[in-house]
Amino acid sequence: MIEAKSLTKYFGSFRALDRVSFEVKKGEIVGFLGPNGAGKSTTMRILTCYISASAGTARVHGIDAFEDPLEVRRKIGYLPQRAPLYVEMSVWDYLRFCSEMRGVDTSTFKTRMKKIVDVCGLARVLGKDIRTLSHGYRQRVGLGQALLHDPPVLILDEPTSDLDPNERAEVIRYIQETGKNRTILLSTHNLNEVEAVCARSIIVSKGRIVADGPLDEIKALSGKVRYFVTLSAKGGKPSAQECADALRGVAGVTALRELPTDGSSHRFELRGSARGDLRAELFKLATQRGYTVLELRRETDSLEDAFKVLTRDDERADRGRAGRDVEEALAPAAATAAAAAAAEEDDEEEDEGDEADDDEKVDKAAEAAKAAGDDADDSEDDADDEEEDDEEEDEEEAAEKAAEPEAPAKSPSKDPKKDGR
């Protein structure tokens, strides 16, 4: 439905988008995340044919955005950031204007309006001038405008910014309601909303896609998957040491920590690789040894943590700490992207060109990440020595290291404090 292929956009010499590729399938609601200035709006503007990309192609509903922009716009309902509307018009007049522009005839307009008034909650403001409306209502009018022609594709740029919590919940509800049989690309800063409505999300940072996949996978990209295992220890058996050794022996467990308990049980926190699930292995082990399992829980980090890790470079640059070499600065992002790519490869075969590209990326990322990791050795107090020898695992650990928030900050090239001033 929406297909972007290596979209690149330069504003003068500033690169706003760098080979952004993604796909949104029919019926999907995809969250489009990223810090301010990461390129979300730019991407959306390219998709809606408001601006042109410097390179790359975009297709919406099978139509090329550069060859037939008018047809693409017909298929899209678009709500730009902050819902810019003609404030001197009344709500009804404005919506009538939009529907006329879209060639919706009067009778169809009236039937559609009934539904839109209902879905967007506009009944009380139809006759009012838009200038008198609160921001929340303007947002609703904007959403109504986007739905007027019953488009198969909806592109919403921060539909919930500047709204109060009630209005926000309402708008999210509208999106859920209207999104049942549409393709929706939704950009927002509120990660809870993404978790509420989207199954998949794309995270961009500094014009690049740093993560694209189901929310669970993205959460795991922060490289922190923990397992909590509680084993019964009635009568002092088995001993904590025995349990710990057994658990450590499970393939894929990279770190183990014993948590305090009341003595009737042993509780451990294990760290595992970002992908995969060790619960089955752990349970098998417990049954083999005859341990009684009281708790076995897998926990990925919240989307917010993943977001922070993935887009950390933006934040750092904003604080004037981007004193590092550009390549080095990009390493963690590239590493996570590579990890994502590697994860994707498992799921589906990719065509050869892409694969070669990915391999290259992985290599580079692993290298760069190692370099970053070396600098940060002292900050690593975890049991990282227990790494598996498996190559893939290596890469991932490297990515993980690079993704540690503290690691690149310790880079010796420049003193962050000096830069800050």
Partner 1 sequence: MSPTWIITKRELKANFDTPVAYIVLCLTLPAVAFNFFLNKDLGFFDINRASMTWLIENVSVLVVILATVLTMRVMADERRTGTLEMLITLPVKDHQVIVGKFLGTWAVVLCAVALTLLFPLTMFVWPWKLGALDWGPVLSGYLGLVLQSAACVGIGMLVSSLTESQVIAFVVTTIVLAFLHSTNFLIDSTETQWLRMALDFINFDSRVKSLARGLVTTRDIVYFLSIPILCLMASFHMLERRKWA
> β-pairing, 2-11 with 55-60?
antiparallel
Helix (H) or strand (E) holding 382, with range, is none
Residue 97 vs 390, nearer CB to partner 1 = 97
Report the residue number, 138 or 224, with the smaller CB distance to partner 1. Answer: 138
DSSP 8-state symbol, 264: S
Q: Does 4 bind partner 1 (CB under 8 A)?
A: no
Instruction: Provide the mask over 58-87, with x wherever binding to partner 1 is found by CB under 8 A and - wherever it is not.
Output: ------------xx-xx-x-x-xxx-xxxx
Question: Under a CB-based contact definition with an 8 Å cutoff, are residues 18 and 29 in contact?
Answer: no
298 binding partner 1? (CB under 8 A): no
Name the one residue in this structure whose structure tokens are 């708008």: 171
Does 103 engage in binding with partner 1 (CB under 8 A)? yes
Q: At its nearest, how many Å lie between partner 1 and the CB of residue 284?
A: 56
Distance from C-alpha of 384 to C-alpha of 271, rounded to nearest angstrom: 10
Residues 110-149: x/- map of binding to partner 1 (CB under 8 A)?
Answer: --------------------------------x--x----
Q: Which residues of 48-70 are buried (b: 16+ CB within 10 A; e: fewer)?
A: bbeeebeebbbbbbebebeeebe
Among positions 6, 101, 357, 415, the unique one binding partner 1 when judged by CB under 8 A: 101
E-assigned strands of 149-252?
153-157, 183-187, 200-205, 208-214, 225-232
Least distance from partner 1 to the Cβ atom of residue 36, Å: 16
Can you name the residues that pair with 24 across neighbouring β-strands? 2
Tell which one of 67, 88, 164, 327 touches partner 1 (CB under 8 A): 88
Structure-token pair, residue 160: 């919930």
We find the least distance from the C-beta atom of residue 230 to partner 1, in angstroms, to be 55
Among positions 6, 52, 111, 292, the unique one binding partner 1 when judged by CB under 8 A: 52
- Judged by CB under 8 A, the stretch of 99-107, 194-202, 335-343, 398-406 that binds partner 1 is 99-107
Indicate which single residue of 12, 235, 353, 412 sits in contact with partner 1 (rule: CB under 8 A).
12
Of residues 100 and 355, the one with the C-beta less far from partner 1? 100
Cβ neighbours of residue 126 closer than 8 Å, sequence gap 6 or more: 90, 91, 92, 117
Q: How far apart are the first and last CA of the chain?
A: 47
Interface contacts to partner 1, rule CB under 8 A: 11-12, 45, 48-52, 70-71, 73-74, 76, 78, 80-82, 84-89, 93, 97-98, 100-103, 142, 145
